[in-house]
A and B are shown apart, each in its own frame.
Chain A
Amino acid sequence: MAVIEARDLRRTYRTTTGVVRRRSLEVEAVRGVSFEVAEGELFGLLGPNGAGKTTTIKMLITLLIPTSGTAKVLGHDVVKDAREVRKRIGYVFGGERGVYERLSGWDNLRYFAELYGVPPKEQKARIEGLLELVGLTGREHERTEGYSRGMKQRLHVARGLLHDPPVVFLDEPTIGLDPVGARELRATIASLVEAGKTVLLTTHYMFEADALCDRIAVINKGQIVAHGTPLDLKRGVADGTVVEVEVFGIPDGTQDRVRRLPGVLSVSVEEREQAQMLIVQTRPEVELTQSLLGTLNGAEVGRISKREPTLEDAYVSLVSAEE
């Protein structure tokens, strides 16, 4: 039996604009998402900002009611048996919000230990163990308003694990962390799976999904556009080639012109210090270097290189294909 099961989940947000002439707008954030996560699996939901990752996770942790579709966690329906689901899951949202800033980390954890029904006799040992796990030992009696962003996020992780839940939802847990903090947190996430927990992780960092996840679903504009193991996704573009062109002052409309070239699979531009990097993924048999240079309207060009596609290229290719 799947531990997490989503069937054709949809979620529409309604907003209104205008004061006198009010207009109602509907935004389809999630459009028919289905997937299953097996026991002990670390499943990644990978997608750009606004793809529908957080909306999906909020439906699964009972904070949002789906517009249609069903979802179950450990066999309990997230709408009808919300309380049963809540008892069995832990969740961690990235970011600094979600803590009582005037109180200490210890107070925050004590409160949530009560809310999650951790037996009073076990609370102290449980909290101390989690503080050790997330590296906050020694800082637990300071007010959380003085915590760094990374410390607050680690406190979130500790809070999400207080009641030792079998299923953990992590929504972009490493967002905004410095590289060392993010690496430590990824190690903590890996240890959760080693401890037998089922984890659903959302992220927009490809390397994070690659390093941690057993399986990945790529979500874009509210729909899953691909799923499989990181290796499966890489194989999908393994036959292609990636050309990187360093350009000093990329002309407007370059991406559109490149996209129209025959054999181009995806195009993206990354800002570098003094230049932009035009990254073009092509079919293997296609030689495009001269054509690419022709689209740059004489802009100054630096280094040009070719390489094998990575998971990041697979991701860009999948997301671009939907545009």
Chain B
Amino acid sequence: MRALRLLAFGWWFQFKTISRSPFEGLFQIIYPLFFATVAFLMFRAGSDTKTLLYASLGSAVMGMWSATSTTAGGAMQRERWHGTLEALVASPPHFALILLPITLAMSTIGIYCLVATLLFGRFAFGIDLTVEHPAAFAVSIVGTVLSFGALGFLFAVTFVRYRAAWALGNLFEYPVWLIGGFLVPLVLLPGWVRPISWALAPTWGMNAIRESSLGGTPWPDLALCLLLGVVYVGIGVAVLERVLGAARKRAALSLT
């Protein structure tokens, strides 16, 4: 019970911290609109409304992923700069209960990217946003946010130990757009890429969101997305104590 309270409060606290940064807020407003514009211009050639919705959803999830992947690393770096990382590590709870809410807060910010991108597509490009299964669509978004947060958590575990690892977040940003099938269907990618795609929760989250909005069944995709999220958290928790031990051994917690 205490763990759940800590997760919930930590999420709210971190969400409040992130959402109070005007610079990051501006970044979150403008950045996804670039993706959306490029995607709409690419897909406008085909006049099929379903294709445009496909692109619209893809670029929306691109924004969500970018918010998580790039800012998860930035969040750890910010904790170092502000000297709060040591304060968090020196507190009694398992560090996973402190770290997971940080990355979940990041991925929650991604919901804004999704909404902004969809509205931008609607009003700037006239894309029809009819969602076939609104409830399933909402659940898919929540599931995707959770799995993004879980993947961000796995990244953040390495950011705790390696201060320059925030760059990894940027490194993973673009490949996942492609490998996750955000804009290009996975069948068009080489066969060897597909196992990598299957191991990524964003792939299944994207599928679930598309299925629910285009009239299909999102549940198997969503289940896989969440399952992978649980696996990421499990791996993260399993290695976290060792990573923290190494950081305490190498005095890496206070380095900026």
Q: Which of B84, B91, B251 contacts A116 (CB 8 A)?
A: B91
Q: How far is the CA of A111 from the CA of B93 in the complex (A)?
A: 12
Q: How far is the CA of A98 from the CA of B254 in the complex (A)?
A: 11
Q: Is the CB of A100 within 8 A of B90?
A: no
Q: Is the CB of B82 within 8 A of A99?
A: yes
CB distance from A97 to the nearest CB of B (A): 3
CB distance from A198 to the nearest CB of B (A): 18
The interface centre, meaning the residue of B82, B90, B245 with most chain A CB atoms within 10 A of its CB, is B90
Q: Is the CB of B20 within 8 A of A102?
A: yes
Any A CB within 8 A of the CB of B253:
yes
Total of A-B residue pairs, C-beta within 8 Å: 74
CB distance from B79 to the nearest CB of A (A): 9
Digitize B211-239: 1 where CB-to-A-CB distance is under 8 Å, 0 elsewhere: 00000000000000000000000000000
Q: Is the CB of B84 within 8 A of A63?
A: no
A115 with B83, Cβ < 8 A, contacts A64-B248, A65-B249 known: no
Q: Is the CB of B83 within 8 A of A63?
A: no
Number of interface residues of A (CB under 8 A): 30
Digitize A117-138: 1 where CB-to-B-CB distance is under 8 Å, 0 elsewhere: 1001000000000000000000
Q: Is the CB of A115 within 8 A of B2?
A: no
Q: Which of B6, B82, B86 contacts A101 (CB 8 A)?
A: B82
A102 with B5, Cβ < 8 A, contacts A62-B90, A115-B92, A115-B93 known: no
Among A42-50, A83-91, A246-254, A286-294, the one that faces the other chain is A83-91
Q: How far is the CA of A95 from the CA of B251 in the complex (A)?
A: 19
- Report chain B residues within 8 Å CB of A101: 82
- Report chain A residues within 8 Å CB of B242: none
Q: For chain B, which range describes its interface: under 10, 10 to 19, 20 to 34, or 35 or more residues?
A: 20 to 34
Q: Is the CB of B91 within 8 A of A99?
A: no
Any B CB within 8 A of the CB of A239:
no
Q: Is the CB of A115 within 8 A of B86?
A: no
Q: Is the CB of B90 within 8 A of A97?
A: no
Q: Which of A86, A103, A107 contacts B90 (CB 8 A)?
A: A86
Q: Is the CB of B88 within 8 A of A63?
A: no
Digitize B75-87: 1 where CB-to-A-CB distance is under 8 Å, 0 elsewhere: 0000000111011
CB distance from A281 to the nearest CB of B (A): 36
- Report chain A residues within 8 Å CB of B90: 61-63, 86, 91
B245 and chain A: residue at smallest CB distance: A65
Q: Is the CB of B83 within 8 A of A95?
A: yes
Top 9 A-B residue pairs of the complex, sorted by shortest distance between their CB atoms: A97-B83, A98-B83, A115-B91, A102-B20, A86-B92, A87-B92, A65-B248, A111-B13, A65-B249
Residues of A within 8 A of B (CB): 13-14, 61-65, 83, 86-87, 91, 93, 95, 97-103, 107, 110-112, 114-117, 120, 159
In the complex, 22 of the A-B residue pairs with CB atoms within 8 angstroms, ordered by the A residue number, are A14-B250, A65-B248, A65-B249, A93-B83, A93-B86, A97-B82, A98-B83, A98-B86, A98-B87, A100-B17, A102-B20, A103-B16, A103-B20, A107-B16, A110-B9, A111-B13, A112-B91, A114-B9, A115-B88, A117-B2, A117-B93, A120-B5
